[in-house]
Structure 1
């Protein structure tokens, strides 16, 4: 092995160790662990995307995704005709050198994404293969045996996190993989999965539904003045208030950082969604107490309604995000800068 190749291998192994250290900081946030490993796996293999898929019922579900796969987070695909499903059944790492000649892959799906090669390695929980870690490339034969070995190490990190997070069985494992570790709300993956389901149902039945995007106001000052423990407490308090003000049929999720989302599965029109947002705003904007300190709490809320604001998932998400920023800017004094977490 040349000195340059040896140096590259050493650096990659050091990155695996650094990833292990970062995983320890995430604790029981299994969704966060999977997202972190997917991000690092993509970077280390110079892939264009990486995915963690979990086997749920007869489907493979995208529970973490980066790069070209990120827009598919939360998507369900049948196990039967995919390389990921074959990896689940065989319990062995699989490598596709060229999707144009490999009969094991869904060739049309690969063409839609623009993929030519991939590596898929199994994720084990106790004695069962519960999912896969996969990296993707737009070039044929983009990966080698070193990449395969590296991906195996990264999958071991996820498996270890799964074991420590869910020692008692697979049902707990899937709950932890789809819920936020800090607040207990649905995470981004589960939110997008349910949003896709809600969108498909609304299209079939020609019904409305609403989408709320909430961004906490003033998290940075809370962290700066009272410390990050207070910031975490504020996020948990906000999550609890959103949940209490929502209905059982709604999906409430922490999408990351100080951003939350709500799917309003039953609204008749825009006025209904706006009324729910107003009730939610009134519930949120009350101080809370942390270690004998009274801390202000507020959030900016954006609203989008299907089909008025769009018929596609990405369009609805963008409209809700734009609406939230308009709300946030309206709260700022003239000349003040707006932005998340300010």
Structure 2
């Protein structure tokens, strides 16, 4: 599926937000003066280059407490450096700009996490970033970017992972070389091509509920300033978590995994369920269908009647699609005007086509917004497991191509009419 910026019918709006949502970076940045930073405990101002020149830890660093002051031995110099090291002025400005974009996303926590995962590699030079949530005994990739993008929805056991250890300890963890660090799964690191990483806890209501992680294929790929940058960006997610969910863990999960406008599962939850459904289907020698659905005509609705009409149309389409599928099926909103459906235990391709036709017919029923008749429609592409392959990303791409072929054929028919 083509990656689309999460949005509602309106572009981005600050519904449900205020200036307090984004005070974290402002307070952090206020401690920095012209690229210099005051050491914890009131020490003299030091420039960022001077801090970066200080010695690092050994092959793998000790845990880095979130708050620490006073004298630290040479062995734990990194702890003090990360608490006091400043990102460059340019990086601070980019973090503040990211803060503004996050405010526009309002209470859509899934979109906030996806946005931060996209921005962090640009701020730290990482090859990949991920937001993982602790769910039961697993760590689940709820947002991912860069070389980790294909891991969205992936579940890994908490035990034996650096992310799980980070959740347990509630402290920033730094792996400078996965080949010599006994805390990491070396084989897993080799599979994804990473050699070093920083893992920052995400805390909600005094409980660590997940991590923000950046990865690099290089040994010792992150500076102390990178760790400081990660801390600031993790604070942005933590603030969004607080304002989106307050103190309710179930509400936090809902905000992180569901689209704020339609209430449908979001992109991350779709990938999570698809991975699990594919595993179950292959084990049972069954068949699974994927529908990639693109809404036709959202832009004319927005242009002609305003974004409130666009929002209403998206909500109506979501409701109609849910009414057109079985209870065992998953309908998700993947992007702005893009949806997807998982059809477990589908009989054959004809059954998938019948389901697709029924869904398109129900979506196309008349719809009015404030007395204005609106035309709703969708283009649907189909892929089947195992008929069209057993690789998840390849199946999604196959459904995506089929959807665009439907759209192209319809356009040609209209042109010749």
Please give the range of the TM-score, normalised by the shorter of the 2 chains. Answer: over 0.9
Per-residue CA distance 1:228-268 (angstroms, 9 max, x = gap): 22222211111111111111100010011111000011311
TM-score by length of 2: 0.78
Question: How far off its partner does 1:287 sit?
Answer: 3.2
1:261 aligns with 2:367: no
Q: Using the alignment, how far apart are the partners of 2:48 and 2:323 within structure 1?
A: 61
**CA shift in 2, pair 1:161/1:273, >3 Å:** same
Corresponding residue SS for 2:340: strand
> Match for residue 177 of structure 2?
98
In 2, Cα distance between the equivalents of 1:116 and 1:253? Answer: 34
Q: Please tell me whether residue 333 in structure 1 is matched to residue 409 in structure 2.
A: no
Please list the CA deviations of residues 122-145 of structure 1 after superposition, one character each: whole Å capped at 9, or x if unmatched: 000011000000011111111111
* Residue 377 of structure 2 corresponds to residue 298 of structure 1: yes
Q: 1 CA distance for matches of 2:267 and 2:48?
A: 43
Structure 2 counterpart of 1:140: 219
Query: In the alignment, which residue of structure 1 is the partner of 2:22?
Result: none
Q: Which residue pairs with 1:51 in the alignment?
A: 130
Q: 1:119 to 1:8 in 2, by over 3 A?
A: closer
Name the structure 2 match of 1:200: 279
* Other-structure match for 1:11: 90
Q: Which residue of 1 aligns with 2:330?
A: 251
Bigger drift between 327-336 and 255-264 goes to: 327-336
Q: Could you tell me how far apart the structure 1 residues matched to 2:87 and 2:136 are?
A: 40
User: Which of 2, 10, 21 is equivalent to 2:100?
Assistant: 21
In the alignment, the residues of structure 1 paired with residue 201 and residue 247 of structure 2 have an alpha-carbon distance, to the nearest angstrom, of 20
In structure 2, the residue corresponding to 1:139 is in which secondary structure?
coil
Query: Are 1:289 and 2:395 counterparts?
Result: no
The CA distance in 2 between the partners of 1:231 and 1:268, in whole Å, is 35
**1:167-178 pair list within 5 angstroms:** 167-178=246-257
- Pair 1:37 & 2:83 matched: no
Q: Please tell me whether the aligned partners of residues 142 and 153 of structure 2 are also in contact (alpha carbons under 8 angstroms).
A: yes
CA offsets, 1:72-99, max 9 Å, x none?
0000000111111110111100111111
* 1:202-252 deviation digits (Å, cap 9, x = unpaired): 111101111101001111222222222222221111111111111110001
TM superposition shift of 1:168 = 3.3
Q: CA offsets per residue over residues 287-317 of structure 1, 9 Å max, x none?
A: 3212221111101001111111112211211
Native 8 Å contact 2:87 2:229 kept in 1: no
Secondary structure of the equivalent of 2:232? Answer: helix
TM-score (norm 1): 0.94
Q: In 1, are the aligned partners of 2:177 and 2:219 still within 8 Å (CA)?
A: yes
Q: Work out the CA distance in 1 between the residues paired with 2:331 and 2:221.
A: 40
Which 10-residue stretch deviates more, 76-85 or 226-235? 226-235
Q: Does 1:222 align with 2:222?
A: no
Q: Which moved more, 1:230-239 or 1:39-48?
A: 230-239
Task: Please tell me the root mean square deviation across aligned C-alpha atoms, in Å.
Answer: 1.8
d(CA) in 2 for partners of 1:331, 1:268? 27
Q: Per-residue deviation at 1:105?
A: 0.9
- 1:239 aligns with one of 303, 318, 331: 318
Distance 2:244 2:271 in 1: 23
Q: Which moved more, 1:58-67 or 1:238-247?
A: 238-247
Larger mean Cα displacement after TM superposition, 254-263 or 16-25: 16-25
Q: Where does residue 340 of structure 1 map in the other structure?
A: none
RCO comparison, higher one (Cα < 8 Å, 6+): 2
CA distance in 2, matches of 1:2, 1:111: 33
User: Helix, strand or coil: the match of 2:393?
Assistant: helix
Give 1 or 2 for the bigger CA radius of gyration: 2
Aligned residues: 336
Q: Give the conservation status (yes or no) of the 8 Å contact 2:277–2:344.
A: yes
Which segments of 5 or more consecutive residues in structure 1 lack a partner in the other structure?
A: 337-342
Residues in 2 aligned to 1:28 and 1:242: alpha-carbon distance in whole angstroms: 24
